[in-house]
Amino acid sequence: MAQKVLVGLSGGVDSTVTAILLQREGYEVEGVYMKLHEKEGYHEANFSRAERVAAYLGIKIHFLDLGEDFKREVYDYFVESYKEGLTPNPCVMCNRTIKFGKLMDFADRVGADLVATGHYVKCDGKAIYRAKDKSKDQSYFLCEIKKEVLPRLIFPLGEWIKEDVKVFAADIEILQDIATQKESSEICFVENDYTEILEKHMDIDLEGETVDTQGNVVGNHKGYMHYTIGKRRGFFVNGAHDPHFVLDIKASSNQIVVGTREKLEVSHFDVKQINLFETLSDFHCDVKVRYRTRAVPAHVRIEGEKGRVVLKEPVFGLAKGQIAAFYDGEKLLGGGVIC
């Protein structure tokens, strides 16, 4: 009997191609559309496309409303992190708690052996690896998922190049209009800028002090929530001749700490909420401190619930609350939250 795969169908090209590939490989495929947030008109259009894909493939599709879980685990975390002056990564937390958390529970309810999505990443059931298409690789966003779910994950697009997916899609009738849809942004509930979300919950335009690394007031800013580490513009510094950047955010006093670029340089940092796919406590690896940065060599030592990461070459603009993902070559070892 064929294994049943529950495929997360978003209504887009990648998840549709994923379902087609798995069906052609002989799996029994069912689709599921996950409603995660309340963006107006978003779900009506996307679920309609997902339904058309399911009809084309002759498969069953489920509508799974995870809105309450998503608000509690992802949206509220996003808002509260910015309140505390942190830089959150909601996609990482969504993958851990929702897409490969609550979705796995739903897979159990419908009797699915495996779960698949359109992520560009490889998984052999024991470990996660970078995708063949390095420009689309999404392994970074999976560094916090639970080790226990790995044996049930399958990612067909891990071996594909995005351009080849587009060529493949061009020959599939149902994908003709879907292929013209704009690709989703990294944060699904943000339309343009993250501050549009924050201003729904608080006053983000409270002018505050800009200070140097010694705590001296050197200017002002328009409200600390407008800034992330490394930002260069949008604040005032008295008599500055060199460009200044945001080095730190002090939420409790509505202050931002600024300095010249060399002061953004970091050679070590701590991590918490550590998640590893194998037993490690003292190891060498490559670490990515943001999705769009390259991995740099490091040594990681874990003691208790925290770890110290010592970099063999410095990085710039390290942000508290962001994610550090650990790699051994192509293999994803896990990750942690930068603190």
Cα radius of gyration rounded to whole Å, the chain: 22
Long-range (24+ apart) CB contacts under 8 A made by 254-257 are 254/206, 254/208, 254/209, 254/223, 254/224, 255/208, 255/209, 255/210, 255/211, 255/224, 256/208, 256/210, 256/211, 256/221, 256/224, 256/227, 257/211, 257/212, 257/213
Residues 6+ apart with CB under 8 A from 69: 97, 98, 102
297 SS3 class: strand
Classify residue 224 by its DSSP letter: G
Q: Are 126 and 24 in contact (CB under 8 A)?
A: no
188 is catalytic: yes
Q: Are 94 and 36 in contact (CB under 8 A)?
A: yes
Q: Which residue in the list 91, 123, 143, 188 is annotated as catalytic?
A: 188
Q: Please tell me the distance from the alpha carbon of residue 194 to that of residue 210, in angstroms, as a whole number.
A: 22
Residues 6+ apart with CB under 8 A from 42: none
Classify residue 240 by its DSSP letter: -
Cα separation values, 139 from 5, 135, 151, 334, Å = 21, 11, 16, 10
Task: Determine how β-strand 122-123 pairs with β-strand 128-129.
Answer: antiparallel
Residues 6+ apart with CB under 8 A from 123: 129, 150, 153, 154, 155, 158
Question: What six digits make up the tokens of 184?
Answer: 């989703």
CA atoms within 13 A on the CB side of 307: 29
94 is catalytic: yes
Question: What six digits make up the tokens of 196?
Answer: 């549009």
Q: Which residue in the list 91, 94, 123, 143 is annotated as catalytic?
A: 94
Give the residue numbers annotated as catalytic, written as ranges. Answer: 94, 188
